[in-house]
A and B are shown apart, each in its own frame.
Chain A
């Protein structure tokens, strides 16, 4: 035996096939014993037997088969294992030689490798035949000579892969089928043209297209109507890869022959292949019905909501826990809170009173239990309107199962209705109370005229009971002559819905018939049906009588009297009208009558007033001339018409016409007279102008309103130096250059006193020269217009004189004062040396008496006397000048007291001369006491001095108070009250011719040696009287006494 097969390295391999290969007697094959195998065969077989992957080898031209354990399973299927080991191909696979043979030839002959993918080669494994897929690789194996010696088949199983692929395909198919049959429309669009790759039935149906005409075409070619809506959306998905989801998108459609807009939900989903977007999957559901349904629901909901929110009624809902789940606007308003605050809240939380909340909760319970609505009425304080009354209904909301799910409620504010009801009730009560108490008869009837109620007054009037009167009982009290007529009318009026009026006589309980006006007012319900009649009957008997009286009166009236209706148709004319216009009856009175009788010029007037009368319904009057039938002359008539009103309603006119011919003529005469008078006035005005212009006194005429000069006379132009034109339209103040305040003052003066009298005003001439003018202004009326007439008298000269005089006066006064003080001082100082002379003289007489001769003594005595006289003179002068001082005070003084003092002064003298002073009714006087004392001193002194040496002096002093008028003395004010003091004596008196002279200073009536005196005493007396604003007179007769009368004002 040759070396055993097992000895060969290349046959050394584990496993069945290694064993079988070694066990095989290869010598019996064409390739012989392994010892003789070429190296390439040996190597290949070694790889084959040791490989775990399936391998098969055909070697030599005979294609002897080798295979390994891994390959074995695929041969087990058709039972070729192990028999085919060492067999030629043709013998082993006669059945496939035809197909495989040429392939193997290719490899053998051309040295090519061949690959066959995914061959289904069912194999037996795991106890059954299984489909398996394989990928075969036919590789040439070169022999030692470099030629192809065999074919090595390597196999890899691709069953898994193939099965997966198959499964995928199946899914794909199934997907497509599913898609096809899906109830939603699906289509796949490819590329930027959106070529329809596929569209399912649903889609086709949606677009109303057959598959054949739709697929493989650009989408928008088939459905141009949707391009505008969706093209951009698709583009966006295609470029960005972001899916688009459209919900209820309105899309125009054109299908089933109808153009429309329908609603679709759809998804555009990008189709990605190898990372790039190649198309879009479209999934569409039509939701048109849904949208439309929903729209309808929304619409009806909105409708409902609008109603609920806008109704003044309250609408609301509760859940079963008494909580509000809905409240409309009206209810929120009632609560005065917002929806947010109200929803979910219970009654108490919403401010209901506890009793109120409990009541509603109880009611809700009842609704839930009975499943029936419930109705009620309750008051609630409305947030804005206050307490209102609500009529409300709670109703259950029942679900399918028949359970109460919620409670709805409605409420209605019926406060006003309630109020109206109450008011109606009240007003009816009031009406019957009123009706019972009113003077008129009143009744109420139903719509058919059946009278069901009469007021008390009616029953009293007729003396019948309500029962007797009710219904048609009223006929019983109607006058038999009228009842038929009234019935006739009554039948009709009930069917006419208008107020009616009717007059008829009604029988009173005592049998007397009185006339009544009945008025029926229909009362209608909301539908306009008459529900009742309210009637009143007014007693018009008096009215009827009055009408008759009016007629009697009018028939007698000596003027026209007529009546018309609303349309101004004549209803009546009195006989005077008929007579004047020559007609028999008022019905003949027409416009024609006017035209025949009225003066043609006045006819338009008649038509105008009567034409407007019916529409204006106002009083009117006019004057016309009417032909008098008696003398065929036109005479003036005053026609007047006033509206006739009955219960405030216009019913026509009552008119009169009065002959005013005489008045008219009188008026005309009067007017003529006025014209004449006016003309006369004009003439007098002309006279005035003439006088004005020619007046030698400077005059101006000024407009009383504007104050502007209207005219000036020649004298004015001469004095002021202005021409007339220059003065015109200026005020006098402007022309005369008055200072600013003066015009106002003058104007005021004029207003208050109506004139200005002799006022001194300084004017300035054109030349600038100033002058004073005595100005007078009067208001005069010319041509019905007021003017100021001014007159100016130049008083510059007088003014100057006055000024000089005034200065002189001042000077004089100053001099007078100087003189007084001079007199006083000098007389005082004069006394000094005089006193010394007297003292020295007395000293000489005393000391040197013995040394003087009798002659010397006599001379000395004379000197002493002269000195003494001088002393008296000076003292009197002093007194006289002292009386000028007027600052002395007046006092009411008892004259008796003064006389008593003077008596004391003259005590010695009175005694010596046996003189008496008699006072008669001496009273008080208002005097300067010390001056008056001086006065009395001087007068009494005089009386004593100038006494008749033969008889003892007797002085009478008396006083009285009386009015000036009683004294018959010039210069006394007649109404002034005076104190009259008279001093009379029985002395030597004086010649009356000296009665004035005696009061002059230094005037003496007697030689010094006879009567000592300075001639100043009476001057002082007069001066004192003058200081008392009084008068003194002297009466005397030689040797028969003197009387001095003093009159001074009494208080």
Chain B
């Protein structure tokens, strides 16, 4: 049990998914603060701002207006300040090629948005567990996709 609440960033234009995400972290035992943005531009503005504290993890949807998830990932990974920031891709698609590309671009884990609410909770618990155990280690490609 961690006393200091974790701080997550979620970038997703789908309000439903944001709602599910929020509900899910509220229901898991860890205390997590969530900051949500709805497109890539907002994300980059927020994350780059001096006053914004570095989050413990970033959950990134791929299909976003203005700036896609991949663009954001590429940009973030080119900035020294964000070195070691865990980035969880949070997307509906499970296209192998895209997954390969994301791994290459430096994403930490890949999560396919589940259909069951319970599964959302499960997968987020798993993510929290990963973060609290060893934050900075990037998994092998085999374990890149987080499954419930």
Contacts and interface: CB of A to CB of B under 8 A. Distances in A.
B23 to A, nearest CB: 8
A831 B16 CA distance: 14
Interface string B98-118: 000000000000000111111
B115 A838 contact: yes
Contacts of A544: none
A871 B117 contact: no
A482 interface: no
Interface in A829-870: 831-832, 835-836, 838-839, 842-843, 846
- Interface range on chain A: under 10, 10 to 19, 20 to 34, or 35 or more? 10 to 19
B93 A835 contact: no
Interface in B101-148: 113-118, 120
B10 to A, nearest CB: 16
Contact of A842 (B92, B113, B118): B118
A831 B63 CA distance: 14
B116 A842 contact: yes
Contacts of A838: 115-116
Contacts of A843: 20, 23, 117
A842 B93 contact: no
A835 B117 contact: no
A842 B114 CA distance: 11
A582 B116 CA distance: 136
Interface in B1-52: 14, 16, 20, 23
A306 B98 CA distance: 121
| Chain A interface, >50% SS class | helix
A836 B16 contact: yes
Which of A828, A831, A843, A871 has the most chain B CB atoms closer than 10 A to its own CB? A843
Contacts of A828: 92-93
Contacts of B115: 835, 838-839, 842, 871
Contact of A846 (B16, B20, B93, B118): B118
A749 B117 CA distance: 76
Nearest to A835: B115
Contacts of B114: 839
Contacts of B116: 838-839, 842
Interface string A801-839: 000000000000000000000000000100110011011
Contacts of B93: 828
Interface range on chain B (Cβ under 8 Å from partner): 10 to 19
Contacts of B14: 832
B117 A842 contact: yes
A295 B68 CA distance: 137
A824 B128 CA distance: 34
A835 B92 contact: yes
Contacts of B118: 842, 846
A828 B112 CA distance: 14
B117 A839 contact: yes
Given A836-B16, A839-B20, A831 B117 contact: no
Contacts of A839: 16, 20, 114-117, 120
B12 to A, nearest CB: 12
A931 to B, nearest CB: 13
A832 B61 CA distance: 13
Nearest to B119: A842
Nearest to A828: B93
B20 A831 contact: no
Nearest to A832: B92
A839 B16 CA distance: 10
A832 B116 CA distance: 13
Of the listed residues B20, B23, B93, B120, the one surrounded by the most CB atoms of chain A closer than 10 A to its CB is B20
A604 to B, nearest CB: 105
A13 B23 CA distance: 214
Most A CB contacts (10 A, CB to CB) among B14, B92, B116 go to B116
A289 B97 CA distance: 141
Contacts of B113: 835
B44 to A, nearest CB: 25
A645 B92 CA distance: 114
A594 B131 CA distance: 136
Nearest to A843: B117
A837 to B, nearest CB: 9
A832 B118 CA distance: 18
A788 to B, nearest CB: 60
8 contacts: A832-B92, A835-B113, A838-B116, A839-B114, A842-B116, A842-B117, A843-B23, A846-B117
List the 3 closest A-B pairs by CB distance, nearest first.
Answer: A838-B115, A842-B116, A843-B117
Given A835-B115, A842-B118, 6 more contacts: A831-B92, A838-B116, A839-B117, A842-B117, A843-B20, A846-B118
